[in-house]
Amino acid sequence: MVSIEEVAARNGLVLYPTSRPGQWKAHCPVCGDQGRNFHLYVSSVKDTFYCHKCGEKGGAVAFHAWLRGISFEAAKAELYPQGTRKRNLHPAERLTAAQLAELGFTTRKPWRMPKGVDPLAWRRQRKAMLDWIWEEYQGHERFKREQTERLMRLLTNAHESTCEQPTGA
Ligand SMILES: [Zn+2]
């Protein structure tokens, strides 16, 4: 979770302490209040913001969207990039069910931890399994490519030999 304070910091919005702990005041970037005038209130207890003048309010994501001038969805994507988890995946984990089935795996995700297994031992085993699956897959792909090439050669040869024959009109 990205806190509302962090959102403020990321957007260069200065938060000033109030008499209440966890409650901050700031200058609303829309209303243009200055000096000792503070319209914007930010609660790091509830992770919400509220401007008493323009009425803008919401949570951390809405705050980021508002400060950056982008949509809620875009703000969410910026604060919680989905790519980070996917990038850490082993290439074998990205194989589809169909690709796994080609290798002879009947279970959808063979690297899922079975029940009652020591997690540490499983982690090591899992890595070895993923490496092995990936190697198998690459070998399988190479084999398929070679088979296709061979087939294409056969077809081309057959095609050429039929073309070479004089066509009796
Ligand atoms: Zn305002």
Ligand 1 center to residue 76 CA distance, Å?
22
The answer on pLDDT for 167 being more than 60 is no
Mean pLDDT computed over every residue of the chain: 87
Residue 165: which pLDDT band, with cuts at 50, 70 and 90? low
Is residue 69 within 8 Å of 30, Cβ to Cβ? no
Tell me the two tokens of residue 99: 């690709």
Separation in Å, CA 55 to CA 25, 31, 40, 95, 164 = 14, 10, 9, 49, 83
Distance from Cα 55 to the centre of ligand 1, integer Å: 6
State in Å: Cα 152 to ligand 1 middle.
69
The string of pLDDT tens digits covering residues 59-116 is 999 999 999 999 999 999 999 987 555 557 788 888 888 888 888 887 767 777 777 8
The mean per-residue pLDDT over the stretch 21-40 comes to 93
> With 0-12 CB in 10 A as exposed, 13-18 as middle and 19+ as buried, what is 59?
middle
For the chain, the first-to-last Cα distance in angstroms comes to 79
* CA-angle at 17, arms to 11 and 18, nearest 5°: 130
Separation of CA 70 and ligand 1 centre (Å) = 17
Do residues 13 and 30 make contact, with C-beta atoms less than 8 angstroms apart?
Answer: no
Cα 140 to averaged position of ligand 1 atoms, centre (Å): 61
* Alpha carbon of 39 to ligand 1 centroid (Å): 6
State in Å: Cα 31 to ligand 1 middle. Answer: 4
Tokens representing 47 are 């992770």
Contact call for residues 111 and 126 (beta carbons, < 8 A): yes
Output the pLDDT for position 83: 56
Q: Does residue 169 surpass a pLDDT of 80?
A: no
Please state, for a pLDDT cut of 90, what percent of the chain lies above it: 51
**Ligand 1 centre from 95 Cα, in Å?**
49
More confident: 162 or 46: 46
8 A C-beta contact, residue 23 and residue 41 = yes
Query: Residue 163: pLDDT above 80?
Result: no
- The confidence band for 12, taking pLDDT boundaries of 50, 70 and 90, is very high
pLDDT at site 129: 87
pLDDT at residue number 93: 84
- Report in angstroms the alpha-carbon separations of 6 from 45, 54, 152: 13, 22, 59
Q: Determine the length of the chain.
A: 169
